[in-house]
Amino acid sequence: MLDAAQPSTETRHVPEPALEIRADLLASQRVLLEALQRPGTWLDGSERLAVAAASRRAASCALCRARTDAVSPEHVSGEHTRGDAEAALPEALVEVAHRVRVDSGQLSRAWHARQREAGLSSGAYVEAVGVVAMLAGLDFFCQAAGRAPYPLPEALPGAPSRHVPEGLREGVAWVPLLAPEDATGVEADLYGSGFAPNIMRALSSVPDAVRQLFPLMRSHYLTGQQMADPKAARHIDRLQMELIAARVSALNECFY
């Protein structure tokens, strides 16, 4: 029995206080989850959610691990791990979902061309990349906040719109892009202030993907207009933001 005059050396677990998440962050995350379940431009709701599920499964995929460990991913062949949710997806979509999620630093123009030759349209490729990238943002946010990842919702019925915006330009990147000066008609709202960072232009052949990115950027980072302002700040200043972004990109071997 301990003497009451002596301090106890017993270690007691004190629960960490729950991290308070800003309402605008949670709201933008819900908007994305709702968008994933709806038909997109080239993929229906079931396909969009299957791409999302496949991207999450990439972390435990034996083929992906072997490729990231190899000197070159081109030296490793095999099949990606699939679950029931993505069982019916074409192989090219599974490949895009896995590689963009866990091995984007080793992607190449030749790899992109092979997915196109396998029957994946440019629009479906861009839409899938948007789904994977935005869901990864949500998943890593939850991981950093000590929260469980969001469960994927149920798909809503409906067919893809197949909308192709006017003014797309070929030859600038692997996929066609819509420049701010060409964003007219129903795409006139696409870039808001007119400043168009490359992350937006990369998705611009699927305008709704850009529109889905906007609320995430506003709440988690900056607005498009603020991105053009080197003095823009939140709780940390712009230089601190970019230092963190550059460090994370380097650790993830970000191609960009």
Q: How many degrees, rounded to 5, is the angle at CA 144 between CA 245 and CA 36? A: 85
pTM reported for the whole predicted model? 0.88
> Measured between alpha carbons, how far is 141 from 146 in angstroms, rounded to an integer?
9
The domain made up of 21-157 has a fold known as: AhpD-like (1.20.1290)
Q: How many degrees, rounded to 5, is the angle at CA 250 between CA 246 and CA 251? A: 120
The pLDDT, as a whole number, for residue 248 is 87
How many CA atoms lie less than 13 Å away from 33 in the CB half-sphere? 14
> Measured between alpha carbons, how far is 90 from 145 in angstroms, rounded to an integer?
34
**Beta partners for residue 233, in sequence order:** 237
**What residue spans define the domains of the chain?**
21-157, 163-243
**pLDDT tens digits in sequence order for the chain, 256 residues long:** 334 344 344 445 545 556 889 999 999 999 999 999 999 999 999 999 999 999 999 999 999 999 998 888 888 999 999 999 999 999 999 999 999 999 988 899 999 999 999 999 999 999 999 999 999 999 999 999 999 999 999 999 999 999 999 999 999 899 999 999 999 999 998 987 667 888 889 999 999 999 999 889 889 998 877 887 888 888 899 999 999 989 988 887 776 6
Q: Is 130 left (phi over 0), alpha (psi -120 to 50) or beta?
A: alpha
Cβ neighbours, 10 Å, residue 136 = 19
Q: Are 197 and 223 in contact (CB under 8 A)?
A: no
Give which of 115, 122, 128, 116 is closest to 53, Cα–Cα.
128
Q: Return the structure tokens found at 133.
A: 């990238």
